[in-house]
A and B are shown apart, each in its own frame.
Chain A
Amino acid sequence: MRVRLALALGLAAAPLAAQSGNGASRLAGRVPAAALPAIDSIIATAVAESLPTEPLVQKALEGGAKHVPADRLVSGVRRGLLQLRAARIIVARAVPGQTPPEGHVAAVSAALARGLPAPIVERLLTVAPNESPGPALHAAADLIAHRFDPDSAADLLVDAHNKGLRDGRLLDVAVAADHELQRGGGRTPSEALAHVRAMLPNVPVPRRP
């Protein structure tokens, strides 16, 4: 069992090491030949616009692995490019005066794909422009996915940040709010958020498997 795990880890790690290579070259043989020129063109556009290409390469690889027909695969990758452009605009507005970091753009693009409203994204970026935005954005997306009001969710996360919580601890805030909501007793989402806000910064650390 352990030997198989180690082997699996090794196999899983190998492609990770290759991710820093040229994106387009990783697609040969992995996506339908009919889709390859269009995808190459989309990736070239992203390069020309200084957008991160890895999300596009991943989307193409995903489509190839799932045997998505060429036309829909190209549409999916193009949708990814549009999302990256939208993300960069948001990052540029929230973090003015500097070239939008690729990591920020990719994280914002992923948050938009999860359905996070652009104003909420921008607000969270503004609070901590020089920190990795991924955890805060995911925490907000988690809260919204669990039917919390987007603005109230953002308020809670901004408050948590102001009280010193960072990175994964922001995800713990979202987990705590969800637990409060599920605790029962007729607690409304806003009451659950208020309860968690009262705990800050001492939200419980969820037990992990």
Chain B
Amino acid sequence: MSPIDPRLQEALDGERDPGELPADLGEAYARLIAATQLLSATPRLSVAARVMAEIRQNPAPAPAHTRGPLRRSLRWLGRPITVRLRPAWTLALAAGLATVLLLPFERGGPRPGVTQGVAKFVGHFPGARSVEVVGSFNDWSRGALALNDDDHDGIWHADAVLPAGQHEYMFVVDGERWVPDPLAGRFVDDGFGEGQQNSLLIVRPAAAQP
């Protein structure tokens, strides 16, 4: 980079009259001053920015159907908003929600109401692919209450909150084999004339259990 002529520097610093400069330096001085003015001038707004500024200054009048408070509230509710999340806060929120949702189960299992009780279903079905319990408590609907065998030891189990009272039920093994619960202790003929028995469950209200 070539050093600036000291005379030109003095002129730019206001210490020398630019008119005293030689012609070539005078021309360089003029160009530099013009460039300085150009840089210091307020940049012109883009077309989009000017349009938006104009809109902000002169908002369009609201249509008649959006003027009422109810309409405005509905508009506000339907308006999309942008939420900025920090990963740390998001994780903390998720952890809090998980705590609230999971802790009651870890502490006490399903919580029955005043007229409900907890029923525990257990069956030994080694090699079974699926076991579910179907009964009067779920309108004899298939697929409503599956037993689990998470450790694959052939012992399937499930807990359910049921209304207090009497319930007839059966296990359905592998989706097709209907089996009474051998641990039920109570059985009743199913009444369809082939001597098949339903298991009978009596659920006591949790409030009455010690």
Contact = CB atoms under 8 A, between A and B. Distances in A.
Interface of A: 1-2, 4-6, 8-9, 11-16, 18-19, 26, 58-59, 61-66, 68, 72-73, 75-76, 79-80, 107, 110, 113-114, 134-135, 138, 141-142, 145, 167-168, 171, 205, 208-209
A172 B133 CA distance: 26
A114 B186 CA distance: 9
A63 B210 CA distance: 37
Given A65-B140, A73-B192, 9 more contacts: A2-B106, A11-B145, A19-B139, A26-B139, A61-B139, A66-B140, A113-B189, A205-B210, A208-B209
Contact of A12 (B106, B138, B188): B138
Contacts of A205: 210
Contacts of A168: 204-205, 208-209
A2 B134 contact: no
B198 to A, nearest CB: 8
Given A2-B102, A205-B210, A75 B134 contact: no
Nearest to B106: A2
Contacts of A15: 138-139, 141, 144
A209 B158 CA distance: 13
Contacts of B190: 62, 66, 76
Contacts, number: 112
A141 B158 CA distance: 27
Contacts of A12: 137-138, 144-145, 160, 162
A80 B188 CA distance: 13
Q: 7 tightest CB-CB pairs across the interface, nearest first? A: A15-B139, A65-B140, A168-B204, A76-B191, A2-B105, A61-B140, A76-B192
A64 B144 CA distance: 16
Interface residues of B, number: 46
A147 B26 CA distance: 127
Contacts of B200: 114
21 contacts: A8-B144, A9-B110, A9-B160, A11-B138, A11-B143, A11-B145, A12-B160, A15-B141, A19-B139, A26-B139, A58-B136, A63-B192, A64-B140, A72-B194, A75-B193, A134-B165, A138-B166, A138-B186, A142-B186, A145-B186, A209-B120
A6 B102 CA distance: 10
A12 B141 CA distance: 9
Contact of A5 (B105, B143, B202): B105
A114 B197 CA distance: 11
B130 interface: no
B110 to A, nearest CB: 6
